[in-house]
Structure 1
Amino acid sequence: MTKLAGSKPLVLVLEDEALIAFNLHDELQDAGYAVAGPFTTCSAALEWLQTGTPQTAILDAALKDGSCREIALELSRHGVPFLIYSGHHEDRQLLAEFHHVTWIEKPVPSAVLVQACQQLLVGGL
């Protein structure tokens, strides 16, 4: 599921709160993106990353099975820009080495995240 010429940009979504996940999925699709996920566990997302590469990603800092640090590292290794979307300020300590990454604190409208993805794709964040 990598991007092909003329296809929609692919956004990897990690979010374990169902309502947020579904709203974000719908907003991204409405804005013309393809969506991988939403994944509710890091293990499922890491498995997907073995065969898929998104153009950008939205990561909740912590999912049902722990910190998204390994996913952030994997995305960084592949040069995939991402942002972190978290409702807990203390989550910054979980991913301290990613202080340079855009953090958006919950709650915000899904449209804010869609706009942030657009900026990531053009190198603006």
Structure 2
Amino acid sequence: MTKQAHGKPLILLLEDEALIALDLQDELQDAGYGVAGPFPTCSAALEWLRTETPDSAILDAALKDGPCREIALELSRREVPFLIYSGHHEDRELLAEFHHLTWIEKPVPSAVLVQACQQILVGCP
């Protein structure tokens, strides 16, 4: 697990709805995580991934510039655990090859996502 300089697990956050992103960022930081992002576009997240690797990630299935498929594939290639947080059931079709992952449908309290991050970081189902 790669940690930030101050020892906190780093969570990559992809979310294009500003209020949801800020709330989730605050909740993750309050729980002791570092947060990369929130990124509202896939292109911004991919640029960050050129030089960095998170410990885990929360991906909205689709951002302002399209589905997060390329990011999901890159995270899988690097064996970075992640979950998908989406408000639309039909988004499952966008990332069909990741149906085995944890999918959480919006809206849920941010604490639910923090708990899910904790579970995937320790390898729990």
TM over 0.5: yes
Q: Distance in 2 between matches of 1:39 and 1:20?
A: 12
The TM-score, its normalising length taken from structure 1, stands at 0.96
Q: Distance in 2 between the 1:44 and 1:16 partners?
A: 11
Contact 2:25/2:35 (CA < 8 Å) preserved in 1? yes
Q: In the alignment, what sits opposite 1:29?
A: 29
Instruction: State the Cα deviation string for residues 89-124 of structure 1 (Å, max 9, x = none).
Output: 000000000011100000000000000000010001
Q: Distance in 1 between matches of 2:100 and 2:80?
A: 14
Mapping for residues 54-73 of structure 1, pairs under 5 Å: 54-73=54-73
Distance verdict in 2 for CA 1:38–1:4, change over 3 Å: closer
Gaps of 5+ in 2: none
Count of residues in Structure 1 that have an aligned counterpart in Structure 2: 124
Matched to 1:25, the amino acid is Q
In structure 1, what is the Cα distance between the partners aligned to 2:119 and 2:29? 16
Letter in 1 for 2:90: E
Q: Distance in 2 between matches of 1:43 and 1:109?
A: 27
The residue type paired with residue 69 of structure 1 is: R
CA distance in 1, matches of 2:34, 2:73: 22
Q: For residue 6 of structure 1, report the CA deviation from its aligned partner.
A: 6.2
Matches within 5 A, 1:7-86: 7-86=7-86
The aligned counterpart of 1:119 is: 119
The unaligned stretches of length 5 or more in structure 1 are: none
TM-score under structure 2 normalisation?
A: 0.96
Q: State, as a whole percentage, how many aligned pairs show the same letter.
A: 82
